[in-house]
Structure 1
Amino acid sequence: MKNFLISLVFLLGVFSCNNSNNLSDVSYGKKTEHPGKVLMEKNCNVCHSPSASHDSRLAPPMIAVKKHYINSETSKQEFIAAMKAWVENPNKQDAKMFGAVRRFGVMPKANYSEKTIEQIADYIYDHDIDQPEWFQEHFENRKGKDRMN
């Protein structure tokens, strides 16, 4: 009888270890972030912060960049090309945000890889971008009417 109980406990242990629930199938609720979002937060938001006040900004928020560069006819490829051209060679003649250039000057040249710029632009084009609380009213009242694409 003792051997039977030991055998039964052993068999139950073996069968319970062969459970079909695979831990790799478990979702932990952490969604992988778009690489462009991570890169934008690390590289762009230093100056283009979505949380800086209007008066203490170093550069326009990224949502302003998006709204000035993208309209209903802008394709993703066109936007990515425009972002690459600007980041690789920022200059007053090619600026689309004249008010920002007047206020902040031309953005300094950044030495980001082409892939980094593409990933950031891809994220900006397809996703909602964080914006300062004051931005929407400001954009509608002033900057959004300066010059849109």
Structure 2
Amino acid sequence: MKTNFILIAITAVVVSSCNHKMTSIPKNEVKSTANAEGLKLFQQNCYACHSVTTKSHDEIIAPPMAAVKRRYMMEYDTKENFVKAVVSYAIDPKEENALMIGAVNNFNVMPKQAFSEDDLIKIASYIYDNEIESPKWFEDHFQENHKNGQGMGNGRNK
């Protein structure tokens, strides 16, 4: 009985001391904080042009971000490459560097923005890591206009 009490007491001390020594933020909280910041930047800076509230394709001034994500995911196989490509284009958008040729033809090249590279990395990381809301009409439009991979750019920028 005395031995069991000693083992329980030692176990309690060890467990409680481990919990008190933990001074860093758990990784899942870091990711949540980064995602929250990325989401906030995304909503404040991207939805102005890449709106999800439009009623049809005719009302938009830029492709839905769900379309941007889908296209970049087709081209870039890792988060690192995806983020690098999105950030690179957003920093210096040029027609010759565009991955979404149809979007450039419909909407022109994205205007150069005054975003910091750090903010763009947070936004691109958020886009990669999360499901992106799309307008209600988007999936039907996509299926109708991108049958058999048509209209998905030419993949020239790997």
Question: Aligning the two structures, in what range does the TM-score lie when normalised by the shorter sequence?
Answer: 0.7 to 0.9
Aligned to 1:109: 112
Aligned-pair CA distance for 1:138: 1.1
Alpha-carbon distance between aligned partners in 1 of 2:145 and 2:64, rounded to the nearest angstrom: 15
3-state SS in 1 of match to 2:66? helix
Paired residue for 1:50? 52
**Aligned partner of 2:64 among 57, 61, 84:** 61
Q: Kindly provide the amino acid, as one letter, of the partner of residue 38 in structure 1.
A: K
Which aligned pairs between 1:111-126 and structure 2 lie closer than 5 A? Answer: 111-126=114-129
1:53-73 deviation line (CA, Å, top 9, x unaligned): 311111111001001111286
Identify if the C-alpha distance between structure 1 residues 109 and 73 changes in structure 2 by more than 3 Å, giving closer, same or farther.
closer
| 1-structure distance, mates of 2:143, 2:58 | 18
More off after superposition, 136-145 vs 95-104: 136-145
Paired residues for 1:76-91 under 5 Å:
76-91=79-94
Is 1:41 matched with 2:46?
Answer: no
Aligned length: 119
Is 1:137 aligned with 2:136? Answer: no
Give the CA deviation at 1:105. Answer: 0.5
State the alpha-carbon separation in 2 of the partners of residues 81 and 147 from structure 1: 20
Inter-partner Cα distance in structure 2 for 1:42 and 1:119: 13
Distance 1:46 1:81 in 2: 23
Hey, what's the Cα distance between the residues in 2 that align with 1:95 and 1:79? 14
TM-score (norm 1): 0.73
RMSD: 1.9
Q: Which runs of 5+ in 2 are unaligned?
A: 1-31
Instruction: Give % identity.
Output: 39
Distance change in 2, residues 1:118/1:73 (3 Å): closer
Higher helix share: 2
Q: Which has the larger radius of gyration?
A: 1
